[in-house]
Structure 1
């Protein structure tokens, strides 16, 4: 975080600083009591108890609050910054801090592909630029402040995921980051336990345009049926599209599976480019195309960007191929499970499996889907059968909902378990040389990790 003067922060919050509040340097701004130390500005959310005794041990700690708190009189009056609307004051601060830096900020949203696209773009940029970015898939709103404050005088560009799990998430994220480039990867059913209507979920995602003040650069998946119908009439900035569609600006012309990655050809401004990305699945080519479009918007030479992508290392548990003894292949795709990511994972599995391999699929539950759950489990179960999966294994009571439609669609073998040790013992007897085993879940993550580690001989 850039060190700030308290008086400048207060002025940005429309508060007249007192004489004793002038000349004070602030090195930490937080809404987490555990992070309070000397030279801290603390925003007191949810009427939490203020650790007055702890604060008294530090120098220059100031509390922004909209309500009195216990033992407040034990602190100096200048330490208490009383405001009418805490949230409004907080977002005045985030706007002030963000606009201290005239840098491009990329915000990436979508149902799937956010983390990978972000990591790809970061990899393209980080050899020549100082990049502030979301860590792994940690994109929940409570990380936003720390990500924002990670921007400082040395930062050249920022790349953030802006996730949506409830109404208001996109608007809130944009009040931290004020993105200049927005990427929408793809849209499908997800988080419909909190956002009851799928239409409302889509609407929340596309609020990224409002969050950009309808300016800057918007990068859209031209092949996505939902994104192709959104209203962009109010967007006054530049729109760049990617996909196989012949009208896409970054047009994916051809895709080829290789042993451990994807070769692809894209057309941009009437020039053809060939690229390679480690990691399997057509979805990775779409993520690469989105990251290339963003890189080009940032002025990066496309040939350089393609070369950088060829050395990208995928995040763990994102369709991660693991070779076991007896020529058995394990696919760890347990990073997340929703209808879109499960469908993509199953289709990719069938692309890479040979005719001689038994295709074994181990499924836990998908993300909470609200009223769409029954329909989506039925669709996924039917897909398991339609793709010719040989063996379906389900773990947990909710995952069992995959079984009936899968059997109806032609899966001949189904096994259901509730305990980790049951699955370990089963695999000890069941696996044959040359099998390929695919794992996918949104729940019981530690259980699946334990099973995968066991098969790898790590426990």
Structure 2
């Protein structure tokens, strides 16, 4: 079989496909009859009785979900290789890409694509493993409770990584405690004898129930005791310099891309490298050639000769705090502009967390704060209430913002823009700022 998939009437089905059809699926038999060499796995006899005469091969099962995971387990067990599953509120895509960059030098690695980490992508990613694959690295997305459990049932990872746990997806997990519990699902998903890698400095990660976890735990950090840790962290030319300590050895390291959070990403990667039995020293050397991802605190020259920091890849409280630290560290002697869009998926707590961020912003020496969107207004209003010295502007959308900034931005200006990944308007606005128009 070339493909295995769940039924989706909007998706083209190729020849040589095994298709899992659920009771709730409305099947278009006319279209399916056109597919050559199609095998259907189904648990609804009445659905099969209504089909037209066809040459489609059909396997009837009592429980479609059990059959689905039985196939996943069968396929996964065909390959004896390390499988790394990475989750976390921030940094999981970058951590995955850094790890892929290092491993791909010497071996064929199957990975998830960009930040396309939805559970429905899991089986196609798993099927990308073949006899030439030596390792796999997958990113685990979390939108709702049960998502990570589902993905782990498909991937059956030998190593699990939690980069950090902040505040996100509270609409699907009800509250922060529910979100932490949903992230903790990875503990049951790691294969027996595997390893869980966690951030020893992250307060919410400390709340996951490790007392019942039977496998190995390996920690990374900067501030607290850890199995692998960094010291002498400092900003350097276009990146971060630091020392890595592991097994009583010290290494000098550098990673392109600004921010302490980038050092944490590297430590998580090196922890995986260590657990795979590979050379940490070689991995550190390869870090230098990693290309920073687009829209991840990406620096560009922009309007009026200003410096634009495009961080529109994602927007949540944890990533904003990290971005503010970068702005503060490199912004000395600059006029600092901050453009913030709405933070989504905070459920009933969206006002609270936007206001908390307003209080945080007020502690930084910002020249101009611009918020875009009705939710982001809470950031601006709270910053004003907390005594920010910034000039504050509130917009419903991006219309008119460029005209305001075009009059002010110059070579002494440093502008950070953050917005939700789903906002094409914010992404396009960031691109407009980077066109170097004067």
Aligned equivalent of 2:21: 44
Which of 302, 315, 321 aligns to 1:337? It is 315
Q: What is the CA distance between 1:164 and its match in structure 2?
A: 1.6
Aligned equivalent of 2:335: 358
Aligned equivalent of 1:316: 294
* Structure-2 change in CA distance of 1:233 and 1:412 (3 Å): closer
Which of 260, 276, 279 aligns to 1:282? It is 260
| CA distance in structure 2 between the aligned counterparts of 1:305 and 1:431, rounded to whole angstroms | 40
What does 1:266-415 align with in structure 2 at a 5 Å threshold?
A: 266-324=244-302, 326-354=304-332, 356-409=333-386, 410-415=388-393
| Correspondence 1:75 to 2:50 | no
TM-score, length-normalised on structure 2?
Answer: 0.94
| CA distance in structure 1 between the aligned counterparts of 2:36 and 2:421, rounded to whole angstroms | 44
DSSP 3-state at the match of 1:344: helix
| Correspondence 1:429 to 2:407 | yes
Contact 1:342 1:440 in 2 (8 A): yes
Contact 1:215 1:235 in 2 (8 A): no
| CA distance in structure 2 between the aligned counterparts of 1:46 and 1:316, rounded to whole angstroms | 42
Which of 60, 66, 87 aligns to 2:43? It is 66
Contact 2:161 2:268 in 1 (8 A): yes
Q: What is the CA distance between 1:162 and its match in structure 2?
A: 1.0
Q: What is the CA distance between 1:211 and its match in structure 2?
A: 0.7
1:66-123: CA deviation from partner (whole Å, max 9, x where unpaired): 22337514224x7222222111111111111111111100000111111011111111
Contact 1:347 1:387 in 2 (8 A): no
What does 1:167-186 align with in structure 2 at a 5 Å threshold?
A: 167-186=145-164
Q: What is the CA distance between 1:397 and its match in structure 2?
A: 1.2
Q: What is the CA distance between 1:458 and its match in structure 2?
A: 8.2
Contact 1:209 1:215 in 2 (8 A): no
CA RMSD of aligned residues (A): 1.8
Residues matched between the structures, number: 432
Aligned equivalent of 2:115: 137
Aligned equivalent of 2:187: 209
Q: What is the CA distance between 1:440 and its match in structure 2?
A: 0.5
Q: What is the CA distance between 1:212 and its match in structure 2?
A: 1.2
1:376-423: CA deviation from partner (whole Å, max 9, x where unpaired): 111110111101111110111111111111112313311122343311
Structure 2: give runs of 5+ residues left out of the alignment.
Answer: none
| CA distance in structure 1 between the aligned counterparts of 2:384 and 2:421, rounded to whole angstroms | 23
Q: What is the CA distance between 1:128 and its match in structure 2?
A: 0.5
1:269-302: CA deviation from partner (whole Å, max 9, x where unpaired): 0111110000000000000000011011112111
Aligned equivalent of 2:220: 242
Structure 1: give runs of 5+ residues left out of the alignment.
Answer: 1-25
TM-score, length-normalised on structure 1?
Answer: 0.90
1:335-385: CA deviation from partner (whole Å, max 9, x where unpaired): 11111111111111111112x211110010112212322221111101111
